[in-house]
């Protein structure tokens, strides 16, 4: 169904995603209408498919962004929510998360590739500069596997590239009750989008969460320093 959701404009794309019941929540519909994909994706931005953005990175298909926002919505909309977007790519989902978050929420977006961080900032300045000037959205260069421990704990974490295993350093930056959406699996093997729910901040991190397999996916790898990445 998702491939049928392509549109000629951002509004048409979002309407098609809503009609297909991929977008199920009015707040997410509003956030995705406010974040015009045309500012973040080259080529055919309103096609419902992933696209390369350079530096071995991709921007995910719109339906995958919609799914991620739906799964993160409760954690991302709580009062004072702090949200981490790992592998921010061109900046699209970071902006959508910032539009979804409450007024006193904050989104931290990181990518290992400095050129992608600069691309994200430039793309955000096109129509969403208020998020930068208010510091509701902050971009920085960093190792996605390491996250941003000094900014946590986070209510919600989105990982936009596939980790070979659940990244425990990121799990450790979730608050109890927080949620992470992360693709997990080898680059050339079977990958699944996983929902990670933090249950406690006591004891070993590997025993502090539950995991739910959501769907099979295909993402570029979440790189260690020295490689590529993507949203």
Task: Return the pLDDT at 226.
Answer: 52
Domain ranges of the chain: 50-217
- Report the predicted TM-score, pTM, of the whole model to 2 decimal places: 0.94
Classify residue 204 by burial, with Cβ atoms within 10 Å: 0-12, 13-18, 19+.
exposed
Superfamily for domain range 50-217: Vaccinia Virus protein VP39 (3.40.50.150)
Q: What are phi and psi of 127, to 5 degrees?
A: -145, 0
Separation CA 223–CA 230 (nearest Å): 9
**Distance from C-alpha of 31 to C-alpha of 148, rounded to nearest angstrom:** 24
pLDDT in tens, 69-109: 999 999 999 999 999 999 999 999 999 999 999 999 999 99
State pLDDT tens for residues 17-53.
Answer: 999 999 999 999 999 999 999 999 988 999 999 999 9
**How far apart are the C-alpha atoms of 114 and 201, rounded to whole Å?**
32
How far is the first Cα of the chain from the last one, in angstroms, to the nearest whole number? 22
* Mean predicted lDDT score pLDDT of the chain: 94
Give the model confidence (pLDDT) of 55-72 as tens digits.
989 999 999 999 999 999
Residues classed as catalytic = 60
In tens, the pLDDT along 185-231 reads: 998 889 999 999 999 999 999 999 999 999 999 988 887 665 444 45
């Amino acid at each position: 169904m998702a491939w049928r959701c392509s549109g000629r404009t951002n509004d048409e794309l979002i309407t098609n995603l809503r009609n297909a019941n991929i977008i199920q929540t009015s707040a997410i519909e509003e956030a995705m209408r406010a974040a015009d994909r045309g500012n973040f994706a080259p080529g055919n931005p309103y096609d419902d498919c992933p696209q390369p953005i350079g530096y071995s990175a991709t921007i995910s298909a719109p339906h995958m962004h919609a799914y991620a926002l739906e799964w993160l919505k409760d954690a991302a909309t709580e009062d004072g929510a702090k949200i981490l977007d790992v592998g921010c790519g061109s900046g699209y989902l970071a902006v959508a998360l910032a539009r979804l978050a409450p007024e006193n929420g904050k989104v931290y977006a990181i990518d290992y590739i400095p050129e992608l961080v600069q691309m994200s900032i430039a793309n955000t300045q096109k129509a969403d500069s208020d998020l930068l000037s208010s510091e509701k959205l902050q971009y920085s260069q960093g190792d996605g596997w390491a996250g941003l421990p000094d900014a946590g704990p986070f209510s919600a974490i989105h990982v936009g590239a596939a980790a070979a295993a659940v990244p425990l350093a990121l799990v450790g930056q979730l608050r109890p009750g927080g949620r992470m959406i992360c693709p997990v699996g080898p680059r050339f093997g079977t990958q699944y989008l996983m929902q990670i729910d933090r249950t406690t901040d006591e004891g070993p991190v590997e025993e502090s969460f539950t995991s739910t397999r959501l769907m099979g996916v295909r993402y570029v790898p979440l790189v260690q320093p020295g490689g590529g990445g993507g949203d």
